[in-house]
A and B are shown apart, each in its own frame.
Chain A
Amino acid sequence: MFFTLIPRIRQAILLTAATLLLTGCELFEFSPNDVRAADRDLTAKNLARLQAQPKPTGGDTLRFVFTGDSQRFYDEVGPLVESVNRQRGISALVIAGDISDFGLRREMQWVNDRLRHLKVPYLTVIGNHDQVANGRQAYQEIFGPLNYTFTYDRTRFILIDTNSREYGFNGKVPDVGWLQQQLADTVGIRRQIVLCHVPPSNEDFDPTLVKPFTEALAKAPRLLFHLNGHAHSFSIGEPFADGVTYINSFAFEKRQYVILTVWGADQFKLEKVAF
């Protein structure tokens, strides 16, 4: 009996183990803070997609969706994707940070699993919530660099980590020197757009860097506007009365997003869309 039962049990165990391994790779979590992700370098992949796609709008007009703070609002991601996919002439969607709530790898994957159903590529900048726990590592693994730029249709997007509090206000975040360099590079550029999470008017922005940061923006000749998130509700204005327009995105929870249409050197139209 011993000899007949053992192989059967062994077989059962092996079979169970094999099934678990096959179906369970995603479930097999070392830690909620680990950074093992099937989808990596999404920023680079989405940029490649963007550059490969023909621009859907004519002339020098560029149209894109501006949103932010997807942060634990998974119920809203599906309806947002459906709504954006119905829009015409959209080139991309940008998220002004706080992809996750707890800075966990899985949260970023949940968002990507839903946003990858967008017909257009999407691009992100890191938010403060994405830096809690091991989030900064997870973000870099799944999305990519914290500061980066890309140019599409002669429009230069400058995406910068402005979450100063996450670094204990160390005087290095945001990297104003890097920002100045990017703003100075205007060869072949018709307009520039800065996208970040925490705006300089917020208490989470390094107070010692507010002046150099805002002055760099005010001096930039091709800057169209400054886009940010963090506040969850939409706003537009000139908080520093220096000619620079600051626009705060709707968070996903508001069930609204903004479509920005830009043309010429400094023209833009803003539409709010509820979903």
Chain B
Amino acid sequence: MRIFLLLGGFFGLILSALPAAAQAPTDSAATLSVQRWYVPKHAVLQTAGGIGMVSGGMGYSLLRQRLDVDVLAGYVPRHYAGNKALGIFTLKTTYTPYTITLRDAAWRMHPLSFGGLVNYTPSRTLNRSRDSKYYKGYYWWSSTVRFGAFLGGRVTRELKPNATGRQRAVSLYYELGTNDLYVVSLATNLSGLKITDVLTLGVGGKFTF
């Protein structure tokens, strides 16, 4: 497990170093066009929202920066998880359709974001519902894979371009979300549960480099 993390970090470093080393900075337009597609466009750090007390990762921006696709690794310390800390690995996609540029052009508001996520909590720390001690279909759901959906908003501050001329920015976001099991609970108990019972809140920041 640790080896994979080390390897991931190592290749990540090489990948992020490649484009910078590959060309001489002539002008910013040329630099942008040479930017390798596979190099992540931003780093993410989030707290709560069901994917860790802290979760961090990288992501890409597509469709003129309206669609973000992020991969995050989250952590819930032992203190909040019972007898073992939890690791949570999340794939998340966020669509942000509207941008309002404020009078001070460095600031942008994104009043609406929505998206979905899927995450995996490794079974070593959980009593897995699909374990061999159960016959097939004993529990119908997976205890380690969660699907989620969320609504939120975001505010962005442009920063000075970096050495190669790429525009950098930092943004803060919040997300009100829920997950598949909470939705099932709500859908089967329309008088017994309220929508606020099944909501989760997460806040985070993105750094576009």
Chain A interface residues toward B at CB < 8 A? 1-2, 5-6, 9, 13, 17, 20, 24, 27-36, 72-78, 101-104, 106-107, 110, 114, 131-138, 140-141, 165-166, 168-169
Comparing B22-30, B58-66, B82-90, B93-101, the segment that makes contact with chain A is: B82-90
Please tell me if the beta carbons of A9 and B190 are within 8 angstroms of each other in the complex. Answer: no
Inside 8 A of B197's CB, which chain A residues have their CB? 106, 110
Given contacts A72-B188, A78-B192, A110-B193, contact A30 B103 (CB under 8 A): no
Chain B residue at smallest Cβ distance from A17? B203
Q: From the candidates A33, A102, A136, A137, name the one contacting B141 in the complex (CB within 8 A).
A: A102
- Measured CA separation A168–B50 after assembly (Å): 29
- Measured CA separation A165–B134 after assembly (Å): 7
Please tell me if the beta carbons of B52 and A137 are within 8 angstroms of each other in the complex. Answer: no
Please tell me if the beta carbons of B185 and A107 are within 8 angstroms of each other in the complex. Answer: yes
Inside 8 A of B192's CB, which chain A residues have their CB? 73-78, 114
Please tell me if the beta carbons of A166 and B127 are within 8 angstroms of each other in the complex. Answer: yes
How far, in Å, is B202 (CB) from chain A's closest CB?
8
Chain A residue at smallest Cβ distance from B126? A133
Inside 8 A of B141's CB, which chain A residues have their CB? 102
Please tell me if the beta carbons of B203 and A72 are within 8 angstroms of each other in the complex. Answer: no
Comparing B10-18, B32-40, B158-166, B173-181, the segment that makes contact with chain A is: B173-181
Given contacts A74-B189, A110-B193, A165-B134, contact A33 B81 (CB under 8 A): yes
- Measured CA separation A238–B128 after assembly (Å): 34
Inside 8 A of A133's CB, which chain B residues have their CB? 126-129, 143-144
Please tell me if the beta carbons of B143 and A31 are within 8 angstroms of each other in the complex. Answer: no
Instruction: Judge if B44 is at the interface, Cβ distance under 8 Å.
Output: no
Q: In chain B between 103 and 122, which residues have their CB closer than 8 angstroms to a CB of chain A? A: 103-104, 107, 121
Inside 8 A of A34's CB, which chain B residues have their CB? 53, 76, 80-81, 86
18 A-B pairs with CB atoms under 8 Å apart are A5-B102, A5-B104, A9-B155, A13-B155, A20-B201, A20-B203, A24-B201, A31-B50, A31-B81, A32-B181, A32-B182, A34-B53, A34-B80, A35-B81, A74-B193, A75-B191, A78-B191, A102-B181
The 6 closest A-B pairs by CB, nearest first: A137-B82, A74-B192, A133-B143, A75-B192, A27-B201, A74-B189
Please tell me if the beta carbons of A1 and B199 are within 8 angstroms of each other in the complex. Answer: no
- Measured CA separation A32–B177 after assembly (Å): 12
- Measured CA separation A80–B105 after assembly (Å): 59
Instruction: Judge if B170 is at the interface, Cβ distance under 8 Å.
Output: no
Instruction: Judge if B139 is at the interface, Cβ distance under 8 Å.
Output: yes
Instruction: Judge if B2 is at the interface, Cβ distance under 8 Å.
Output: no
Question: Main SS of the interface on chain A?
Answer: helix
- Measured CA separation A9–B109 after assembly (Å): 11
Please tell me if the beta carbons of B143 and A132 are within 8 angstroms of each other in the complex. Answer: yes
Inside 8 A of A5's CB, which chain B residues have their CB? 102-104, 107
How far, in Å, is A140 (CB) from chain B's closest CB?
7
Inside 8 A of B107's CB, which chain A residues have their CB? 5, 9
Chain B residue at smallest Cβ distance from A252? B192
Please tell me if the beta carbons of B48 and A30 are within 8 angstroms of each other in the complex. Answer: yes
Given contacts A2-B104, A20-B201, A32-B179, contact A134 B126 (CB under 8 A): yes
- Measured CA separation A77–B197 after assembly (Å): 15
- Measured CA separation A138–B143 after assembly (Å): 14
How far, in Å, is B34 (CB) from chain A's closest CB?
33
Please tell me if the beta carbons of A1 and B127 are within 8 angstroms of each other in the complex. Answer: no
Inside 8 A of A17's CB, which chain B residues have their CB? 203
Please tell me if the beta carbons of A165 and B102 are within 8 angstroms of each other in the complex. Answer: no
Q: From the candidates B80, B131, B188, name the one contacting A36 in the complex (CB within 8 A).
A: B80
Q: From the candidates A32, A76, A131, name the one contacting B127 in the complex (CB within 8 A).
A: A131
Given contacts A75-B190, A165-B134, A166-B127, contact A30 B80 (CB under 8 A): yes
Instruction: Judge if B168 is at the interface, Cβ distance under 8 Å.
Output: no
How far, in Å, is B90 (CB) from chain A's closest CB?
10
Known: A29-B48, A136-B127. 15 other contacts (CB 8 A): A5-B104, A20-B203, A28-B47, A28-B202, A30-B48, A36-B80, A72-B185, A74-B192, A77-B192, A78-B191, A102-B141, A106-B198, A133-B128, A134-B81, A135-B127
